[in-house]
Amino acid sequence: MTTIAFIGLGNMGNPMAANLVKAGHKVRGFDLVAENLEKAAEHGVEVATNGVEALEGAEVAITMLPAGRHVLSVYEEIAPKAAEGMLFIDSSTIDVESARKAHAIAAEHGLLSIDAPVSGGVGGAEAGTLTFMAGGSDAAFAKAEPILEPMAGRIVHCGEAGAGQAAKICNNMILGISMIGVGEAFVLAEKLGLSHQALFDVASTSSGQCWSLTTYCPVPGPVPASPANRDYQPGFAASLMLKDLRLAQEAAQASGAATPLGAEAAQLYALFEAMGNGGKDFSGIIEFLRGKAGQ
Ligand code: NAD
C-alpha cells in the first residue's frame, strides 16, 4: 500500500483515484470544487482542504488538472513541501514546454517526476484501462509503473521529460486529421450516390482503413457503438480535440515542424466549436463538413 496525494478530481481524476483506492492504496485527494470532493469521498478517498495537506505522509502525488498553468501553479505550491525523493506524476494533457517546466520544479526540490498523460477518456478511467504515455527518467518510470497499473490498460515509457505529452499530442493530431479525412470521404460518397455501408465495407478492408473509420465511424450504421449512432454524444468532446490540436500547433511552432494538416484541423475544430458544438463528440465534425459542402 502506498499513500498517494491526488490533486484534480474532475471527470477523469475522480474515477482514477477510485481505482487506486480499490487497489488498496491510501488516497488523499484535493479539488477546488466541493462536489468533486464529496464524490471522491464516496469512493473512499480521504479529503484534504488544500494541496499541501493532501501531500502529508504521501510517497506519490498525482495531478489531473485542466492545463499547463494549473499544473505549474500546483507544483510551485506543493513541491517545496514534498519529502525528498517523492514521486510526482502529472497525468493532465498539457503543453510540452509546461511539462518540462514541471519536471524542472520537481528536480529543484529533489523529487522524481514523470509526465504521464492518458488516452481512453472517462470510460477508460472508470474501467481502469487507460493508456499512459510516460516521459521521465528510468528511475522515475520504474517507481511510477506499479502506481499507474490499477488505472491502466497499457503503460508506455516514451522517453525523457515531456516525451509523454509529445506522444499524446502527436497521436491526437493524427486522430483529428484522420477523422476529418474520413468525414470528407463519407460526404463525397453521399454526393456520388455511394452508400455509407458500401464505402465502409471497401475502405475498412482497404488502404483507407484507420481507427476513425473502423472504431469511431462518423456515420450511423456500420459501427453500432460509434457516437454517430447516438447523435454524437461524447465520447471524446470536440472541445477536448481542439485543445489537443492547439497544443500540437504550439509545439509545432516552437520546434519548427511543418504541420499544415494539423493547422487546418485545428481551424476546422475551432469553427465547429464556435458554432456551439464543443460538447458534441469530435466525430460530429462530419455535420459541419456537410454544411460546408452545401453552401
Ligand atoms: P475536469 O475539468 O473535469 O477536471 C479538472 C479538475 O481540476 C476540476 O475538477 C478542477 O476543479 C480541478 N482543479 C483545477 N485547478 C485546481 C487546483 N489548483 N487545485 C485542485 N484542483 C484543481 O477535466 P477532466 O476531463 O478530468 O480532464 C483532466 C485532464 O485530463 C485535462 O488535461 C484533459 O485534457 C485530460 N484528458 C481528459 C480526457 C477526457 O475524456 N475527459 C481524456 C484524456 C485526457
Same domain, 153 and 190: no
- For atom 30 of ligand 1, which residue has the closest CA? 92
Report the CATH number at residue 156.
Answer: 3.40.50.720
Q: How far is the CA of 188 from the centre of ligand 1 (A)?
A: 37
Same domain, 22 and 91: yes
The pLDDT tens digits along the chain (295 residues) read 999 999 999 999 999 999 999 999 999 999 999 999 999 999 999 999 999 999 999 999 999 999 999 999 999 999 999 999 999 999 999 999 999 999 999 999 999 999 999 998 888 999 999 999 999 999 999 999 999 999 999 999 999 999 999 999 999 999 999 999 999 999 999 999 999 999 999 999 999 999 999 999 999 999 999 999 999 998 899 999 999 999 999 999 999 999 999 999 999 999 999 999 999 999 999 999 998 633 3
Same domain, 262 and 228: yes
- Does residue 136 have a cis peptide bond before it, meaning omega lies within 30 degrees of 0? no
Global pTM reads 0.94
**Residue 168 a catalytic site member:** yes
Last residue of a domain, one of 111, 131, 160: 160
CA angle 236, 96, 281 (to 5 degrees): 10
d(CA 3, CA 86): 11
Q: Cell 503503460 sits at which residue?
A: 155
**Amino acid type, 187:** V
- Residue ranges making up the domain that contains 143: 3-160
Q: Ligand 1 pocket: which of 12, 14, 280 to mutate (most atoms <8 Å of CB)? A: 12
Same domain, 99 and 219: no
Question: Which ligand 1 atom sits nearest the alpha carbon of residue 122?
Answer: 40
**Amino acid type, 230:** R
Q: How far is the CA of 10 from the centre of ligand 1 (A)?
A: 5
Beta bridge partners of 125: none
Using alpha carbons, list the distances in angstroms from residue 148 to 49, 70, 88, 131, 209.
24, 21, 12, 10, 32
Catalytic residue among 39, 168, 243, 280: 168
Using alpha carbons, list the distances in angstroms from residue 67 to 53, 98, 128.
22, 9, 22
Same domain, 202 and 152: no
Pocket (CB within 6 angstroms of ligand 1): 7-13, 30-33, 36, 51, 64-66, 70, 74, 92-93, 118-119, 121-122, 236, 240, 243
d(CA 145, CA 210): 30
Same domain, 120 and 8: yes
Same domain, 219 and 273: yes
Name the domain count of the chain: 2
Same domain, 130 and 213: no
Question: Which ligand 1 atom sits nearest the alpha carbon of residue 119?
Answer: 43
Report the CATH number at residue 272.
Answer: 1.10.1040.10
ipTM above threshold 0.90: yes
